[in-house]
Amino acid sequence: MSSSSGTSGRQPPSSRIAPPTAAPVARRTAATASSSGVPTSSRGLTIPGGPAPARKPMAVATTNRAAGVATRTASSAAGGLRKPTTATTGATAAGVRRVGSASTRPVHGVKRPSSDEEQSPSQLNEIQAQLQAMAAMFDQERANTEAQMAAEKTERKKYEDKVLQLEENLEESKRLAKEQKREAGRRRTIFDDEMLQLRQAHAREKKMWEEDLERERSMIKALKDSMANSSTAHLTLEANNSALRTELQSTQDQLKAKEAMIVEMEATLAAQRAAVVEIENELREAESLRRKLHNEIQELRGNIRVFARIRPALPSQNAGALATIKLPNPREAKEIEVLSAGESATGTATMKSFGFSFDRVFGPEASQRDVFGEVEHLMQSVLDGYNTCIFAYGQTGSGKTHTLEGSGLPDSNFNGSDLTPTADSGAGLIPRAVQMLFATAESLKDKGWTYDFEGGMLEIYNETIHDLLGKGSLESAIKHEVKHEKGRTTVSDAVVLPLTSPSQVFSLLSKASSKRSVAATLMNERSSRSHSVFTLRVRGSNASTMESCDATLSLVDLAGSERLANSGSGDDAKRFKEAVSINKSLSSLSDVISALGAGKAATHVPYRNSTLTWLLKNSLGGNSKTLMLLALSPMAEHLGESLCSLRFASKVNSTVIGTAKKVKAGGE
C-alpha cells in the first residue's frame, strides 16, 4: 500500500518532459513570428530540461551580431562564405523589412533612412554585414539547439526507461494492491462478523445494563420511599421515645415501689414455702389415709363381690320369647326375680318365682359406662398395691365378652389421647380400666409416685395353657408351668411385654384375640371354647415416702357354662372334650370359692383341681379383691341356664373370705 500510494502521488516524468518535437515547433513559431514583425531571438525561448540562456544587454547583442556579420563577410570574400538557407534568407528579409519601416528609431545602433531617401552603397554594405552577422548567430544557435536536442533525447530515453520501470512497478503495485484489497475485503468480512458479534454482545450487555439500571432506579425509588417513611417513622419514634422516657421514669418510680413490695412478698413466700412443705407432708399422710380408708370401705363391701347384668334382646330375636326377669327395687338395684312356668303334682299350671340378691344388678338398659362406674374403685386398689381379679361368668351368648371388651378394642393406631377417657360409649371394662390406670398413674406423679406396667395374655384350652402373645402356633406350643412364690404368680416361658401407653395394651389384646380358640355351638355361632386371662402387672414407688407396691390386675373371660345337652357338643368328640373341660374348670372354681368361704373349717382349698383355679390362686385368696360379673340372657329358651348361673353367683356372693393384704415390691 505504501509503494502504491507513493508512486501514484508522484507525477510521472513523461508529464514534465516536453516531447522531442517541441524544439522544431518552437523554431517554426519563432520564424513565423519574425516574419510578422515579432522578435525571433532565441534568448526568449525556454528549452525544456536545460538551463535557460541568460539575457544579454541589447548593445552587447548588437555588437556581437555586427561582429558575426563581419566575420561571415570576411569568410565570403575568401570564397568560404556559405549561402544562407531559405529560412535564413526569409528571416533576413523580414529583418530588412523591419529595419526599413517608416520608424526612424535605430535598430541595434543602425539608423534607418526614410523611404524617400536614397540608400547609399555603404549603408547597404553595413546592412548586409549585419545580416551576415545575424545569419552566423542563427547558425550558432541552431548548433546549440541540436546539441541540446541530442542531450534532451538522451535524457528522454533515460526518462522513458525510468517511466517503463515505473509502469512495471505500478503494475506490480496494482497487483499487490488488488491482493491487498482482496485480503482487506476478507479481513473486512471477518471484521464485519466480529463487529456484528460485538454489536450483538453489546446490545445484550446494553439491555442487561439497562435492566440493571432500571432495577437500580426502582431500588433507589423504593429506598427513597423507605427513607421518606423512615423519616416519618423517625419523627414518630422520637415522639414515642419522649413519651416512653416519661413513662420509663414513671415505671422506675413504680419499680422502686414494687421492689419494696417484693421484699415483703419474699418474706411472705418463705413463710408460705414452709407452709407448703408442711401441707405436702400432710398431703402424703392424707394420701396414705385415703388408701387405707378406701380399702377399708372395699373390705366392708366384701372382698368377693358379685354383679349381675341382663343383656338386652338382639334386634333379630322375638320379643315374645323373652323370659320374665324383674328388678323388685330398681332404685337400689340389688335384687333380681325370675318367674318360671311349671306344673303342680295335679297337673295344674303354676308360676314359680326365684329371687336372688347381689351387690349390684344392671338391667338391659344399663350402659357400659354405668357398669364401669361400679368397678373403677377396684382400679384404684390396683395402684394402691392390691391384687384384683375380675372374671365374667355366664352361658354362651349372654354378653360376657361384650361387657369386658365392648363393641371392639381400639386398634393400635388409637387416634384419641391415650390418657383421655374413651368417648366410645360401647367400650368395655378392659379399655376403660386401662385408660383409667394410666391416667391415674400420671396424676400421681405430682405426689412422688412413678409406675411401671407390663402385660401378658394367656388362654386355658382343654386344661392346657397357651401363650397368645407367643410366636409359635397353639398346637405346637411348649408346655407352660404355673409357679407361686411370695404371693406372686408366674408362668414359665410366657411373653410379658412392658407397656407405656394404653394404645400398646389395645394392640396386645387385639393380637391375642385373633389367636383365641372359638367354635360354633347350638347357642352361639362363635362361642369361646377356652378361658382367656389378661394380666396387667403394676409396680409403683415413691421416692419421697420410700413406699412401694406391686399388684396384678387379672381380667378373665370364662368360657360358656351351658350344659352338654343344650350346647349340642355330645355329637362331636372334640366339642364334647371341650365342654367337659370347661365344666370341670367351672366346677373347680365353685369348689375353691366354697372352700375359701368355709374359712378355717376347710382343711384344704382345691386350687390344683383345674388349671384355671391354680393360675388364679393369688387372685382368689384372702390377699386379693375379686369381682364376679354374671352375664344373663333375657331369652326364655335360656331360662334354665340362667337359673343355674344365678344359683352359682348367689353361692359366690354369700362367701366371705379373709381380708385383702397389700403386696409390696419384691413380694414382701
Between CA 334 and CA 337, with CA 336 as vertex, the angle to 5 degrees is 150
Distance CA 565, CA 642 (A): 15
Binding-site positions read: 394-401
Q: Is 97 helix (H, G, I), strand (E, B) or coil?
A: helix
Instruction: Give the three cell numbers for residue 131.
Output: 545580416
Given a contact cutoff of 8 angstroms between Cβ atoms, the answer to whether 323 and 635 are in contact is yes
Distance CA 591, CA 415 (A): 45
Given a contact cutoff of 8 angstroms between Cβ atoms, the answer to whether 564 and 558 are in contact is no
Distance CA 661, CA 210 (A): 94
Binding-site positions for ATP read: 394-401
Q: Under 8 Å CB-to-CB from 646, ≥6 apart: which residues?
A: 308, 336, 338, 354, 356, 630, 632
The count of other CB atoms within 10 Å of the CB of residue 333 is 20
Share in percent of the chain as helix, strand, coil (round to 5): 55, 15, 30
Between CA 611 and CA 337, with CA 598 as vertex, the angle to 5 degrees is 85
DSSP category for residue 558: P
What is the number of residues in the chain?
Answer: 668
Instruction: Taking the CA atoms of 132, 134, 138 and 141 in sequence, report the sign of the dihedral they define.
Output: positive
The DSSP bridge partners found for residue 463 are none
Say if residue 53 is exposed, middle or buried (CB neighbours under 10 Å; 0-12, 13-18, 19+): middle
Say if residue 381 is exposed, middle or buried (CB neighbours under 10 Å; 0-12, 13-18, 19+): buried
Instruction: Give the three cell numbers for residue 222.
Output: 423504593
The CA–CA distances, whole Å, from 632 to 327, 367, 432, 604, 629 equal 13, 15, 22, 32, 10
The CA–CA distances, whole Å, from 66 to 41, 93, 284 equal 15, 17, 177
Instruction: Taking the CA atoms of 410, 413, 415 and 417 in sequence, report the sign of the dihedral they define.
Output: positive
Looking only at the bridges linking them, the beta strands covering 360-362 and 304-310 are parallel
Instruction: Give the three cell numbers for residue 41.
Output: 531571438
Distance CA 598, CA 651 (A): 12
Q: Under 8 Å CB-to-CB from 339, ≥6 apart: which residues?
A: 323, 324, 325, 326, 351, 352, 353, 354
Instruction: Give the three cell numbers for residue 272.
Output: 408460705
The DSSP bridge partners found for residue 322 are 635
Given a contact cutoff of 8 angstroms between Cβ atoms, the answer to whether 380 and 440 are in contact is yes
| End-to-end CA, the chain | 124
Given a contact cutoff of 8 angstroms between Cβ atoms, the answer to whether 430 and 509 are in contact is yes
Q: Under 8 Å CB-to-CB from 156, ≥6 apart: which residues?
A: 17, 20
Cα-only R_g, the chain: 77
